[in-house]
Amino acid sequence: MRVALLTTYPHGGAGIACRRLQAALLESGTQADLLTRNDTPSRWPFYAERLSFLPYERDKSVRFSFSLANFGADMSRHPVVQQTDVLHLHWINQGFLSLRNIGQLAKLGKPIVWTLHDMWAFTGGCHYSGTCTNYQQTCGNCPFLRQPGPKDLSHRVWQRKQKELPANIHFVTCSEWLAEQARASTLLHNYPVVSIPNPIDTTVFTPVHPDERLHFRRQNGIADTSLLVLFVAVKVQDERKGFRYLQQALTELQTGRPDLKVDLLVLGNTRTDSIPPLPYPCHFLGMINDVNQLAKIYGAADLFVIPSLEDNLPNTVMEALACGTPVVGFETGGIPEMVEHRQHGFIAAQGDSAGLAAGITWVGENRERLRTVARSKALQAYANAVVAQRHIALYRQLLAK
């Protein structure tokens, strides 16, 4: 059996998840090829996609939050696609595959699996709908648009999807939360939708020895007795990642627990001069692309905080759990599926900074006990072999039809 994985970028959350699945399939003896936008002849579809949305966007903040899928590349003639048995789509926006291109792939008659990393496939264009549920009808009145209305751009994109989405697609979501949203949509409610998580290499993301944690602290000027809190985001100040709620939680923590020593580790792109003063020492480590170094940082932390307002099945939570680092987060997307409250960490109501502060305190007091169960969750649910076999079973099922 040969599988072709298609995703726009090899980087970013969806790209990393796709590459990890490729590695897991290869480890399990399945030939898996990866195609990205780098395998297309031109970048013009990316610019055409962005420019086509400019007249409609509400403001610059939503520029990459809405995709039309008008432009892309015909991958149906690519040798890898021609030779494969199963086509497995992942995140395909920003000029990689248009709706028409997906139809061209469907005409090959090969089984198509499409893993959803956000809500785009069943909305009128947005990647996350926030509080809007118009995708459960026919979209329209879109909050991302400059001039929302019943027959606006989102409604027209919804109509195109209703007309052009091929029938021979089996949808996979990384979380049960996203599966429920897909099944509730008018576009996908008649399609098969199954939830299979992303994989992670638990031989790379693995707990570190206590001596290594101590060494890391001393390298970075962190007291041995300080509670080391980790926050990770590609763009730290992306509103969806909720860093401001962590700031509020730390302020409340200092007021309520003045005896508690805390140090904050921040991984990701940010301008440090644009971050308001924090009540505790903060160590900005920038982007870490070396996975071995990244795993050591996760393992050195006492807890990982993810105050995201929109998310599916975050790779960062999986990485923390695999390293035996308990998690504090909001009840957002698939996060509560990954972190059982007071089992692998602490889940607070979305936007509740006081709850986040309480979670940091509770996990800090129980972190040694939680390390073992966090690691066990990753091994049982997300290890490469476990996730690869679930995908292989699905591929075989579709090939047998």
In a shared domain, residues 135 and 59 = yes
Kind of pairing, strands 227-235 and 262-269?
Answer: parallel
Concatenate the DSSP letters of all residues of 285-326 into one string. EE----HHHHHHHHHH-SEEEE--SS-SS-HHHHHHHHTT--
Residues 273 and 337 in one domain: yes
Pair 271, 319 in one domain: yes
- My answer on whether 160 and 280 are in the same domain is no
Residue 193 forms part of a structural domain:
yes
Is the pTM above the cut of 0.85?
yes
Strands 327-330 and 345-348: parallel
DSSP 401: -
- Residue at 305 is within a domain: yes
Question: Is the same domain home to 53 and 135?
Answer: yes
In-domain check, residue 205? no
Structural domain span for residue 329: 210-381
Same-domain status, 58 and 74: yes
| Spatial separation of the C-alpha atoms in residues 285 and 252, rounded to whole Å | 24
The pLDDT value given to residue 332: 96
Report mean pLDDT in 10-residue bins for the chain, 401 residues.
Answer: 97 95 98 97 93 96 95 97 98 97 98 98 97 97 97 98 96 97 98 97 97 95 96 90 96 95 93 84 92 97 97 95 98 96 97 97 96 97 98 98 86
User: Are 191 and 228 in a shared domain?
Assistant: no
Q: Does one domain contain both 301 and 353?
A: yes
For the domain that residue 64 is a member of, what is the CATH number?
3.40.50.2000
* CB-CB contact of 101 with 41 (8 Å): no
> What is the pLDDT, as a whole number, of residue 70?
96
Task: Check whether residue 12 and residue 160 sit in a common domain.
Answer: yes
Is 265 contained in some domain?
yes
Helices (H), 93-152: 99-106
**Based on the domain organization, do 16 and 163 belong to the same domain?**
yes
369-381 per-position pLDDT tens digit: 999 999 999 999 9
Residues 90, 223 within the same domain: no
- In this structure, what token pair is assigned to residue 130? 């926030």
* DSSP state, residue 338: H
**234 and 370 fall within a common domain:** yes
